[in-house]
Chain A
Amino acid sequence: MNAQAYFARHAQTLVGSLGRIVHHPFATLMTMGVVAVALALPLFLNLLLSNVRNATGNWNEAFDLSIYMDKKAGAERTAALAKLLRQRGDVAAVRIITADQAFKEFRDNSGFGDALDALTDNPLPDTLIVTPTLLASTPQGTDLLKAAIAGMADVQTVQLDTDWVKRLHGMLDILRRVVLLTGALLGAGVVLIVGNTIRLDILNRRAEIEVMKLVGASDGFARRPFLYSGIWYGLGGGLMALILVALAAVILAKPVNELAKLYGSPFHLEGLNFATAASVLGVAVGLAWLGSWLAATRHIRGIDPI
């Protein structure tokens, strides 16, 4: 058999198997629907997770370090330290709050104005607010930066509240694993669902497979249309899953954007991109193919002409 005839035959089987499953639209849509739901759930969780990550990425002021200067340092040395810090690769910005500014702000906002007026001396130090670069905005990165700054001259204290950031990252890590586990379980579900559908299909067409074997068909030949059916189930289920998740994203987009506005955040919900959609379809087809291969290989071998 030459290559052209070979591919023509495969194309013919591919189209033929599509025709066959379209012939039973209700059963086909049911199978595709189950595949779609099984794929949509982990996909949707993953979408939420990556959006939460984006959101916390936007809040990187939470990672700012406050550096309280030694009272004896003075404005010049504070400015020099700020300049030095700005040259670091892991520092995005440095803002100076002088002792006077801080005192004025505190007096205006705290309500202790009169009591503070009684002080002869400003008890507040000069302060530097250091914003790490996005790359350095991890718990480890900020810890390193904190340690480096704490060892510098004129620095009294470096304050960084990373506990909640660490907890958030811990939670996101657990969530990520939950998504992976859910995905793996539901992926196995897709293999079983498609496998079972193909098994029933083979039982229904037992007589036909017997005839094919009688006139010299190999198991591989008899199996081929079922593998293509599996591929169609995967493709259809994958497309339906993408539609489901896109719909969910559309429904959630408006309230999420309004919530973000209330927090003054530029955050907005990210939908599916092309690469994700393509890999979802790839995974769907792969799992469905595996399911149909397992079922077809096992059950077609068991059919012998009588």
Chain B
Amino acid sequence: MIRFDQVFKRYANGREALSGVSFSIAAGELAFLTGHSGAGKSSILKLIALIERPSRGQVIINNQNTSRIKPRGIPQFRRQLGVVFQDHKLLHDRPVADNVALPLIIAGVPRREIDKRVRAALDQVGLLGKEKSLPLELSTGEQQRVGIARSIVAKPALLIADEPTGNLDPELALEIMKLFKRFNEVGVTVVVATHDVHLIEQFGARRIVLGHGRVTDAGERAAEGGGHGEGKGEGEGNGKGVTIEAHRP
């Protein structure tokens, strides 16, 4: 589902966020990206969502080489994934239902279908009945769950989350993580970036540890994560992916 091959990312200000990152995550896996702030977690998620482009190396998502996706194709590409942000990124001038419906409206789903799927998504995050509330009338935890409902409403095969529990107390954070676990159990590939090591210890999922722009521990691939046949035996677990020189000119 996700494969990074010798990926470098240097920003315009000269800071190198990623220095030769290689790893892969199979379809159906649940993986946590951890590491100190500045280790490169956010950069990896931005490369997955095509918010940024790698300076060198290849990022392959869902069998698509992202370097071949032109700017015109980015919207279509993003509709295949759900993204959850630390700061929720909700539209505060419209009710919860409209926020959750946004990806479906963009994809051109008929109105009646939208209402049904918005209610289903809100039900999954435990917010049924809050359709007409404005985001600011909800608690932070509830706002985050609205963001999660929005990310899954279009039924993406891949869900990525950047510090989704960053602003939440431990109890709420655990609840949110359980939500991600539940989505993973129904077949969604889930990648969560978090610095909260204690929290993820409670889940038996794979951890990819980053430090100074490199993978220091690519973790164990979970047993149920096979079947997709991609990335098998490619520098898995050696941390630096030195077996392949795959960067493009």
Contact = CB atoms under 8 A, between A and B. Distances in A.
Contacts of B108: 1, 5-6, 9
B179 interface: no
Contact of A214 (B49, B105, B107): B49
B75 interface: yes
Given A213-B75, A216-B78, A216-B79, A306 B51 contact: yes
Contacts of B107: 216
A207 B91 CA distance: 8
A8 B111 contact: yes
Contact of A208 (B77, B79, B91, B103): B91
A278 B102 CA distance: 37
Interface in B7-36: none
Interface string A5-17: 1101100000000
Interface string B158-193: 000000000000000000000000000000000000
Interface residues of A, number: 22
Interface string B73-91: 0011111000100000111
A158 B80 CA distance: 88
A305 interface: yes
A214 B83 contact: yes
A23 to B, nearest CB: 9
Nearest to B76: A216
A221 B110 contact: no
A217 interface: yes
B41 interface: no
Contact of B89 (A9, A214, A218, A221): A214
A201 interface: no
A223 to B, nearest CB: 12
| Residue of A218, A219, A304 ringed by the most chain B CB atoms within 10 A | A218
A80 to B, nearest CB: 83
Given A212-B106, A216-B103, 13 more contacts: A5-B110, A8-B111, A9-B108, A212-B102, A214-B83, A214-B89, A215-B78, A215-B102, A215-B106, A216-B75, A216-B106, A217-B106, A306-B51
Interface of A: 1-2, 5-6, 8-9, 207-208, 210-219, 221, 304-306
18 contacts: A5-B110, A5-B111, A6-B108, A8-B111, A207-B89, A208-B91, A211-B89, A211-B91, A211-B102, A212-B102, A213-B78, A214-B51, A215-B79, A215-B83, A217-B75, A221-B75, A221-B106, A304-B51
